[in-house]
Amino acid sequence: MRFRMTLILVSAMVMVCQPSATKEKPKTPSTVLLLTSPRKQELLNMKLLVKRGLLKVDGLKLIGIYHSDEYTDYSHAYKWLRNHNPGWMEIRRIKCRLEPDKVIKSNDCSRKFKELFDESDGVIFTGGPDIPPSLYGKKTDLATVIEDPPRHRFEISFLHHLLVGDPKSHTEAFMKKKPYYLVLGICLGMQSMNVAMGGTLIQDIPSEVYGIKNLEQAKSMPADKMHRSISAQLDPAPNVGWGVIHPIKILADKLFSQGFKEVKVLSLHHQAIGELAKGLDVWARSKDGKIIEAVSHHDFHHVYGVQFHPEKRVLYDPLRTYLPHANAHGRNFVTDTMKKDHDATEFLKRFWGLISHCLIKSSVRRHAMVKPVR
């Protein structure tokens, strides 16, 4: 009798421990994307890209990163995260010593960079202020505005570790181990990429490239030669944006740009690549050919830089008020312009489709490299 009772208890326990007939859907492994300078507006940009289905990655986890010495105020970003609690976003303050003379060599941040690289599938270097010319061996032009040197040292050093390495310490580029890792540089991000790899910058397009001496003269330039709003600088007013729409020429067929010869983009910069770094290829230029608008890495095929802005909310939010000049009517001239141009909208759709594809591919490879614990 006692033996029979024990048998019944054991059978009951086995039934409880067995998985139910309805299997749970396996969770999608997280795809980790790093984002530099995670200000509130950058987080909102990423949120809208995901909401609109442009950045389409299941299990996406976004980690905003910045150096502890940066001057930028991230309190608004932290507050927004607390209040809105998007479970797939977080911000990390990276603390490590980074002296100006050790930016493009192994330094106290090297270990932190490697840890971030190992746990992620890609990184987006966002737009921002002018890079100190001392970081690319030049004197500072009067038109250059330096706002946050620690940020530039951090981002350029990270890019150098990713793409170049330090031959003196026998340290190779991180991406030699994961060549499928995604790196996207947007505006300042592309400029930082060029500097990190040994290139230089044009410090002011109107004066250096076109010989313009004042804003009044610059205002009369053709639209295809304007890379940011002169009206916003000369006659600022509420809701007047610094962005402009201008065409770029596509020079090489990428996975997303096949069939495009010229396409309109949102532009917001006064600096650009000067001397192109070795290892970068140009795949788009301004209409007159004088400004490099997009680059890719010769060896690492998931590394892209764009001088224009494909991520800004103003491209995708028609309800936002964004005017070209003080006396303009309407609401958002950027969306009004882009929605009438099939090529422009299709180009952006394909661009983010490629970025999504690269992230997913990188994630699959990273998770395949992780051996399960037995």
The residues spanned by each domain of the chain are 29-138+145-201+270-311+345-369
For residues 357 and 360, give the distance between their C-alpha atoms in angstroms, rounded to a whole number: 5
pLDDT in tens, the chain (374 residues): 443 433 333 333 333 333 334 444 446 669 999 999 999 999 999 999 999 999 999 999 999 999 999 999 999 999 999 999 899 999 999 999 999 999 999 999 999 999 999 999 999 999 999 999 999 999 999 999 999 999 999 999 999 999 999 888 878 999 999 999 999 999 999 999 999 999 999 999 999 999 999 999 999 999 999 999 999 999 999 999 999 999 999 987 665 667 889 999 999 999 999 999 999 999 999 999 999 999 999 999 999 999 999 999 999 999 999 999 999 999 999 999 999 999 999 999 999 999 999 999 999 999 998 655 44
Structure token digits, residue 118:
């190992």
State the Cα–Cα distance between residues 166 and 107, nearest whole angstrom. 10
What interhelical angle do 110-119 and 149-163 show, nearest 10? 60
Taking the CA atoms of residue 288, residue 326, residue 47 and residue 67 in that order, the dihedral angle to the nearest 10 degrees is 80
Specify the CATH superfamily of domain 29-138+145-201+270-311+345-369: Class I glutamine amidotransferase (GATase) domain (3.40.50.880)
pTM value surpassing 0.85: yes
- CA pair distance 313, 176, nearest whole angstrom: 34
How far is the C-alpha of 229 from the C-alpha of 196, rounded, in Å?
Answer: 28
